[in-house]
Structure 1
Amino acid sequence: MTFDKGGPGHQGVSVDAFLAAAALEPLPLEDDPTARLLGLVPDADIVLNRTAIKSARARSGLSVSDVAQRLTELGWDTRTSEVLQWELRGSADIVPARVTALAVVLNQPVEAITMPVPEDARMSAVQSTEQFAGLVRRWAQLFDTTLRAAEVALTSRMATAVHRGEIPDPARTLKTMEALVDELEKRQPQ
């Protein structure tokens, strides 16, 4: 069946074509070029600089809850506990657009509140294992997110330890990451 509401030379849309288009699955977020352009895909190459965020917030006279409230007003639903976590541990699983909003709230350039994720052979050794890949899949399922976002989230947990100067061996890191995911799975309602 074809709907044709136009005049001569106008071609209508068939019901079959319309239904087929509606059934298309959207691209995964990390593969969506529009999402990438809008800064909605986590960037594994940057991490929030916890000390820079805390210093900038203090200099601006804002409380942790003020920062959360202003981010929420800018359209980024943010809890006070999230801002506190950024100050205590940093984060690599925050999307660039949200980092930009945080920089605006703190009146800082993005570069002043971020830093590159350190390249460390031990982190690479962990990330290249099948065990880590399994943890990424479990994290993605647990938080209903993409594999790429899950990988960024888990990598940020490892990067946080590296930024504190605590670089455990890969086996110990994997064991710790496994314990974290196990515990989070236990807390999920059945």
Structure 2
Amino acid sequence: MSSAEDLAVLVDALVNDPWMPRPESVSEVEWAEAQSLAEVEKLLGAQGAPALEHDPVAAMLGLRPVPALVLDGPAMKRLRGKLSVSEVANRLQAYGWEVSAADVRSWQNSSAAVALAPALMERIAAVLGSTVEAITRETGSMVDPAIASDPRWESIVERLAAVLRVAWAQAEIRLAGAMTAAAYRHEAPDSFLEAADAYVTRLERSREA
């Protein structure tokens, strides 16, 4: 595939026809990624799931920047090692991200906060052989401290991580991004947690169905 748009088209096709064969132009790695994204999109679109505004699929797939988490340019530059900016860009492009060498250079040299999609930062970390935590810095709390310190939040995020098959930290970024961007952002901690629990429960049941 040549772009993120191609990946999006493939995901939509898989949502409509989960049994379609893998196109010859799509690698096994790209196919597996598209299948995973299609499954999550179907889960998020399940009838009866609590509504999340502003494209919840994008939030859950890590495609929407989260203001509280930004790329640490200097850390990225250190971890890049012997990889050139062009090599980093080429490897990201291989996964469908429209990134140029100029973009990579700008990110690592920027003194300002660079907010990128969590999924892109996850891929950058993988390309560098590192972790998301090593190439990012937090500019604020993902959620209200009262929520973050509640054991229920940890448990809900852990369950979501199992549904999405991602690390706990990645699941927290995605759930926080979706919940705080939606109608739940002004809810009291208990109501916020109840909504998050209901949402993840619905995803779990959809997967079991």
Q: How high is the TM-score relative to the length of structure 2?
A: 0.40
Q: Which has the higher Rg, Structure 1 or Structure 2? A: 1
Q: Which has the higher contact order (CA 8 A, sep 6+)?
A: 2
TM-score (norm 1): 0.44
